[in-house]
Structures are given as C-alpha cells and as structure tokens.
Structure 1
Amino acid sequence: MAEEAEKEITTFEDFKLNKQLLNAIDEAGYQKPTPIQLQAIPLIMAGHDLLGIAQTGTGKTAAFLLPLLMKVKYAQGHNPRALIIAPTRELVMQIEENITLLAKYTDLRHTAIYGGLGPKTQIETIKNGIDILVATPKRLLELYLKGDLILKELKTLILDEADKMMDMGFMPQIRKLLEVIPRKRQNLLFSATMPDKVVELSEEFLEFPTRVEVTPQATPVDTVSQTLYQVPNLRTKIELLEHLIQDTETFKRVIIFTRSKKNAESVSRFLEHRNYGEVRAIHGNKGQNTRINSMEAFKGGEVRFLVATDVAARGIDVSMVSHVINFDVPLIYEDYVHRIGRTGRAEQLGAAITFANDIELYHIRKIEKLIRMQLNKVPMPAEVKVFETPFEEQQEMAMELDRQKRRDDPDFKGAFHEKKSRHKSNFEKGKKTGDPKKSGWQKTKKKGSRKK
C-alpha cells in the first residue's frame, strides 16, 4: 500500500499542500518533486522524526521547509515555534531566502540570526515576534543565555548539514540546546554523510526516526562529470587554470575552491590582473557584508569567478554554475562532495575539475574510496607549459605527506621526524609571497643577513 501511495505522488499538488504554498512553488519555477522531497515530505507531514541522508543540491531544503510551513501555517503568538540550525552564516542566509520564497503568500514571521553582525537588529526582530527562526549554534546560544530569546514554545527542531556541524565542533552547543528546549517536539536531522559523530548525535537527538537516504553516503550527484589533472606545482596549476578558462562559452560561471585563504587571494588577484571576467573571493578573513555582496553578485550573473575556501562551501546555492574547479584538494574528504555539489544542481548538468600535485594524489585515493568511484584522469593539455617544482615547494609537499602519514600511523617515521626538526629551514616557518605566475616561493634568508 505504501508503495502504491508513493507512486501516486508525482506533483506538489499530490502532497495536499495549501494554495499559498502551491502558488509560491509555481512562481519559484519548481517543476516536480525531487527524490528526497518525494520521500521526506509525507513522513514529516505525518509527524515522524526523520534522519535524512541527502547531498547538497538534491532539494532537501524544500523537503523540510514545505511540510514545516504547512505545520506552522500562520502567524501566532510571540516566540518561535520552529527552529532550524545550520553550521555557517551562508547556509543560514540561504535557508532564510528559501523561506522568504516559499512563505511569500503567508503571514508567517521569520528571521535569521548569525555572527559577524551586531546582534541589536536581530534582537529587535525577535522581540517583535517570530514563528520560524534560522540560526547558527553560537549566535543562538549567545542570545538565549542573555535572555533575548525564549524557546519554550518550540514544536519543531531541524538540524541541517549535521556532519559539517560536527566537523566545526558544535556538539557542545547542540547538547546545551537540547537541555533547555521542550522535550515534546518533532525532530529532523539532515546530513550529506554519516560519520560516527553524526550517528552519535542522531541517537541523542531523534526518537524512533524514519531514515530516508536518496543516494549512497558521500556519492556525488550523477549530473556532475568529474575530471582529474595531475599537476606538479602551484605555478603549473595557474597555467592550467588560465588555459581552461579561456573557453568562455564552456566556463561561464565558475567556483574555484582553494585550501587556504592565501591561495584564494593569489588566484583571485591573478584572474583580476588577466581580465578574464569579474572575480570575487570569499573566505574567513572577508567581512560579512563583503561576503554577502560577493554572493549576490555571483548569483546575479555579474561575476564570472567566485574563489572560495571550504568555510563557504556549503552556503553557496546558485543555479547554473557551469564548473567547480578544485584548485587544491580538500583535506577533509567529505568536503570534496560538498564542493562539487555546487554544480549540477536541480538536475542541471555540471562539471567538477580537480588539480592534484603528487602529494595531493594521496588524498585523491582516499576521496575515491569514500565516493566509491574513480575520478576520470585526463592528460595535461599540450598547450600548458609544465614548470619544474621549486626546491622549497618540494620540501613543503614532502613534509605535508609526512604529516598525513603520521596521522594515519602514529609510529610512522618520515624524512622529517623529530631528529631533524631542529634543522627546519626558514621557508617552513615563514610565509610564502609573490605572484604565483612568477618565481613561486620566497627565498630563504641567509644567516647573518640582518643589519647590525
């Protein structure tokens, strides 16, 4: 019977949503429910606790928002009746934008609270009365402990991107929250992957949950092609990037992920100097307003390149991203899935291209094991000049491999174990500088070169 009922649901009307939501869905251009929506919405509307394993870009935000908006229905009372917690400011803002879109024809009051901005305006909005609150864990607890937020009327609690929440160390805040909110409530937990910490959290947080899994854990969406280039060093990576993006018809809207803020700045400066199109960089050192403005410009199509670190990887919800380029391979392997999930969204075709040096291939093997597939390795284009790797960069790569192997095996003794640690050269301690297109790395200072 359940299978028959599931087959009958082919449109949003079949969920028996109210007219206000159906009008908003129609205006938003949603054609048909995605697999996660088909499975999750009836269960959530029936009041079940839910554990949803769904990658970014599968439509999971609407999967929990549509039944939530049906449940909360209209403005009532003063304090929030539903709370959605997400790990980053960008993701909180994205969820809030989706609520604004879908609750367009209702009188529901909602707001988002997050760090990076002063809390005064956020507190005023809360005091005026809200029905749905979207928050990052730190700002939520901060306002609650100051007495600016009353949570005793909560009926629904949703944790989104739970795996990222655990990676960022938010377990203590979540536990504190669970101690103070009403026990009688509906709980929904969504995660792209299911590491042990998320399993532990789900056991504490959910009561007899129904598990919904639309794809195997950590499997990239089928609409994304994945390509790997073996690139020996930073300067050659820049050369390859330049070669690829000259195809303006194919590389229309591109997100470039780097592992560090420094590389993000280097890549964005290079693109700016070469005038290949508008470029913005977002990372932890950028102010909140700068990040918001950069995201809006990219969404609006005014910006061709968005260069980002993983801090923003899950908060980017932009349709029609043609390519994701992993300039650096992520060291948290699940982040690979989240990065490439920025393209191929809403059943559109997308492409993910990864640059990996010899040391990063070690991490690629781990990523391939996680996603249970091999990346399509392609040869370096003949037009791209391959540069020799500077000695300092070779040394740094070797040390990075040693560090990684030591994490995997504490007894591992590499080329840079403790006996040699007192001989560390200045390049290891100092910062790398300069245009990556030029010489590469800053030279080590000679002993005694300081003026007396």
Structure 2
Amino acid sequence: MKAPVTTTDTPAASAATETSPEPTTGSGPDYSTPSAIQAQNVTFADFGVRPEIVAALKDSGITHPFPIQAMTLPVAMSGHDIIGQAKTGTGKTLGFGVPLLHRVVAPGEPGYEDLVAPGKPQAVVVVPTRELAVQVANDLATASAKRSVRIVQVYGGRAYEPQIDALKSGVDVVVGTPGRMIDLLNQGHLTLLRAATVVLDEADEMLDLGFLPDVEKILARTPAQRHTMLFSATMPGAVVSMARRYMKQPTHIRAAEPDDEGATVKNIKQVVYRAHALDKVEVLARLLQSEGRGRSIVFARTKRTAAKVAEELQTRGFAAGAIHGDLGQGAREQALRAFRNGKIDVLVATDVAARGIDVDDVTHVVNYQCPEDERIYLHRVGRTGRAGNTGTAVTFVDWDDVPRWSLIDKALEVGFPEPVETYSTSPHLFADLNIPEGTKGRLPRSAQHLAGLDAEDVEDLGETGKRNSGSRSGGQRSGGRSAGPRSGGRHGGSHGEPRSTSRPDGGPVAASDNAGGTGERPASGSEEDGGQRRRRNRSRRRTRGGQEN
C-alpha cells in the first residue's frame, strides 16, 4: 500500500500534489499524522532502511524518528519529490539524509561496479552556509558509519586543492554551498550529471542570502530524471516558484507535534525584555548565571557587536567565543568545535552563521539585538529546544526596536506585544530566569572551570580571501585575558568600545582603538622612548589599515 502523506492548505501547497492521506487499515502502519506516529512507536527499521544505516544510527542513540522524519521516509524511499516543512530543530537533516544514503551505492557494495560512472557524485546536498555544510556532512557520516560512503564537503574559505583532490579520488555524496559548487563546476572538477538525488536544505535561508539564482544553475547541471527534496522551516513565495519549476509533482509534508500549534516548538520558554543599550551586557551577564544553564548562544545583528559582546563576556570571566564574517574560516570552525566540545559554553554569533549551529543541548538563546523579522527570530530561537529538549529564549528589545518587535510579535503571536522595561537589578529578571539572588555581572572565580577557546587548536585550512586573525575574539581562557602586549587599554578609549577583532578583508587589526595610550610595558630601554616608538608604529599601521579598508 502506498504510504499516506499529508499536505497543507497554505499557499506553498499549490506547488505540491494535493494528495489526501489514504485511509489506513488494521494491517498497515499509519504515518499520516505526528500523533499516529508517536502512538505506534515506530523505528527507522520499520521503513525498510538499509540495516547498516539503522545500526549506525542505533550506535549513536538514534532509533525512533521524529515526526518530520517518519512522515518523509515512506515518500522519499519510493522516489517521490518532496517539500518538507518543519520547525527549526525538529530533525529535517535525517529526514532527507536517511533516504539519500539508502539510495547511494558505496564502493565494495553490490552494484557499484555496474554504475555508469563510479566515483562521480550520486547525490548532492546544497546548503546556504559553511557551518551548515559541516553539520550536514557530519550527520551523514554518522548515519553511514558502517558503510564506505565517501562524503565530501565543498565550501568557501578553505583551499581549493584538498577539495579538488577529494573529488578526483572519487566521491559518492557532495555537501556544499552554492558559490564553491559553481566554481568547481565551472572549472570542470565537479560533475553532477550522475547525481540522481538532489537536496536543497534551508531553502528559505538561501533565498534570504540571494543564492537562489546560483541554486538554479546547480539544478540545471543535474540529470533531468532525478529525485529532488527541498526542506525549509518557512516557505516564501520565491521558494514555492522554484519548486514549481524544478520539481515534479512534489508532495508537501508539514509536520508538528500533536499539541504544538505555535510558530516555535512548544518546549521553548520565550521571554522578551525592553532593555537599555548601556545595561544589556549587565543583564546578559546575570542571565548567563541562571540555574541549570548549559551551552548558550547569543545573537547579534552586526559583526562588530558580536566581537564586542564576546570580549566583554570574557573580561567578566565567561568562557565565550565569537563566530562572525570578519573571522577566517579556521577561527570560525575553531569556535564551533570548542563550543561542541565543551571548552566554551557561550557562543556569540551573527545570523548568517546561525544555521550551522546544531548542538542538541543548547539551553539558552539570547537575542542581544532584536531580529530583523519573524523568520530570523524563528531561526535564532530554533537553536535551542532541539531534538525534544527544553530551552529558553530571551530577547532584548531596544527602545528604537519596539516597532520592529511589534511586527514580529504580531506575526508569530509570541505574546509580548509590549515588552516590560527591564534592568540588571529588576526583581522580575531574577524570578523569570531562575537567577540566584545576589548574582552580579561577573562570573565568580569558583565557577570558571572551562578550558576556553585557546584549548582548541586552529586548523590550517589554506584559507582563501581571509587570514586567521591572531586577535580573534574569544581567544583566551575562561576568566582571563589573552597574554601579550596588545591586551591592555581596552577600556581606555574615549568611545568605550573594544577593538575590532579583524578587518573586513579578514586580516588582523594590529592597532588599538585607544589613541591616548595602550597600557603596555616597554620590553627594553627607556619607557618614554619605547612609548613614542610604539605610538608612531600604531599610527602608521592605522593609516595602512584605513587605506586597505
């Protein structure tokens, strides 16, 4: 019997086949609704998935699919095109990853030598960001751990040569970002003519970043007869139009928990405060000392703010790091590894980097700056409450952002149309977030026990475009400042701003923002002579940096 599926009555459904769920009989499983899936306690083995994939997932503690996975698998395994729509953090990656790997034939398996072009990609996954490419590739590697499937990541910021060598030596699945994929396609190093399975992940984010034209170029280089799966948390009109052009009668599957009707998953506690710009970091420092807090992500709108907040938290004793566009790819991956490995527990990020942060046990998300719109809010908040865990999302709204927040609240029905005015000493702040009474804006030394960002090595990626900055944000131990002659004078400047961690071109900023003095000790000779030499050198470096920018 054909597995039943669901469709929606949203505008996006017009791009999908209007298929009504078939009635189930007593002899067949019912995968038509999340509640039916939960009631039957189905496992991945129930869907006819390769035993090696089931065993690999079981070794990782994954046996029962989430609703979006259980509703997707019967349709995907039969080769039908799919539009999968589910809230952020509900398991879309395995929803397409399991059927993709099920159809791939790995070296040494029956049928591999019969392929038309062994060693050429049999499947391709297109994602919007580098961090998401790493996360998706790692998830696929986990699910194929008991097979010899070759998975290659291709994205910008890394050297071309290792990626080209990997493609030449043979590959089964390619995961990458549109820009680097097109570069390799144009150079002739990547061919997708045998890619029978194509996945577009986080399609709405690719739209926001302006990647849809590139995605269409990639689709044009794939076979006409292919299995296409598009996954997205939201379904804007442009994504629906692309689905109409490049997908064949796709089935639109929309999954949510039975009692979860909101825009975000039900197990996320959402709190919104109207905070003063000069007091927000004090509120944040107290919030990060709430009882039961684990890994936390702080979101900022700008690269400068992300760097500033991360450095401010470090001076207050928190094991924090930053990930933003001014950092080289090596430094960005270092911060993510340190976050995943528990060497830091606070990650300050800009929105572009957010899509690749897939850590199940993030307990708190803080919107240090109000999101631009409701979609960005959903994707930020979706970093917590993942894989069935609970989470807390706190949003700071500046006075200037009140109109923007009103639109977000109205669109998502968050329930905070007029955020309460909140300061770092407000009693309701401590009560709402379970912050111990008497908590101050600095983490006590007794609680500073994490290794910090410096404990995680920076991988030499042979980067293109940007250099790893030696002054990367977050590059010190919890509770300490990085050593070296550049560590002084951060608060001495007239603006009270920290120095930028790197130039927009990715190079290091060697000069302090403090023109009045650095607080540095001369290495040798007269203090006056040494200070004059350093001031002259700083002026020259600042001038050169201004010309380069």
Please indicate the TM-score interval, normalised by the length of the shorter structure.
Answer: 0.7 to 0.9
Q: Which of residues 396, 402, 418 in structure 2 aligns to 1:361?
A: 402
Q: Secondary structure at the match of 1:68?
A: helix
Determine the C-alpha separation between the residues in 2 that align with 1:181 and 1:218: 37
1:82-135: per-residue Cα shift (whole Å, max 9, x none)? 010000000000000001111000111111100001111000000111111101
CA RMSD of aligned residues (A): 2.3
Corresponding letter in the other structure for 2:250 = P
Corresponding letter in the other structure for 2:232 = S
Task: Mark the runs of 5 or more structure 2 residues left unpaired by the alignment.
Answer: 1-21, 31-35, 113-117, 428-493, 499-513, 515-549
Q: Which of residues 218, 222, 226 in structure 1 aligns to 2:270?
A: 226
Matched, 1:273 2:305: no
What corresponds to 2:282 in structure 1?
A: 239
Matched, 1:299 2:340: yes
Q: Secondary structure at the match of 2:422?
A: coil
Question: Structure 1 vs Structure 2: percent identity of aligned residues?
Answer: 37
Q: Which of residues 287, 294, 307 in structure 2 aligns to 1:252?
A: 294
Task: Mark the runs of 5 or more structure 1 residues left unpaired by the alignment.
Answer: 386-431, 437-441, 443-452
Displacement after TM superposition at 1:203 (Å) = 1.1
Determine the C-alpha separation between the residues in 2 that align with 1:109 and 1:296: 22
Matched, 1:331 2:393: no
Matched, 1:60 2:92: yes
Matched, 1:160 2:201: yes
1:269-314: per-residue Cα shift (whole Å, max 9, x none)? 1111111x21100000011011111101101111121000001111
TM-score normalised by length of structure 1: 0.82
Q: Any conservation in 1 of the 2:151–2:174 contact (CA below 8 Å)?
A: yes
Dislocated runs of 4+, deviation >6 Å: none
Q: Any conservation in 2 of the 1:258–1:309 contact (CA below 8 Å)?
A: yes
Determine the C-alpha separation between the residues in 2 that align with 1:26 and 1:157: 26
Displacement after TM superposition at 1:238 (Å) = 1.4
Alignment map for 1:32-431 (pairs within 5 Å): 32-75=64-107, 76=112, 77-215=118-256, 219-231=263-275, 233-247=276-290, 249-275=291-317, 277-375=318-416, 377=419, 380=422, 383-384=425-426
What corresponds to 1:24 in structure 2?
A: 56
Q: How many residues align?
A: 390
Determine the C-alpha separation between the residues in 1 that align with 2:23 and 2:44: 18
Greater fraction of residues in helix: 1
Q: Secondary structure at the match of 1:322?
A: strand
Determine the C-alpha separation between the residues in 1 that align with 2:408 and 2:261: 12
Displacement after TM superposition at 1:333 (Å) = 2.7
Q: Secondary structure at the match of 2:362?
A: coil
Determine the C-alpha separation between the residues in 1 that align with 2:65 and 2:156: 33
Corresponding letter in the other structure for 2:140 = I
Q: Any conservation in 1 of the 2:97–2:140 contact (CA below 8 Å)?
A: yes
Determine the C-alpha separation between the residues in 2 that align with 1:126 and 1:16: 31
Q: Any conservation in 2 of the 1:326–1:353 contact (CA below 8 Å)?
A: yes
TM-score normalised by length of structure 2: 0.68
Determine the C-alpha separation between the residues in 1 that align with 2:201 and 2:343: 29
Displacement after TM superposition at 1:328 (Å) = 0.2
Displacement after TM superposition at 1:433 (Å) = 4.2
Q: Any conservation in 2 of the 1:114–1:139 contact (CA below 8 Å)?
A: yes
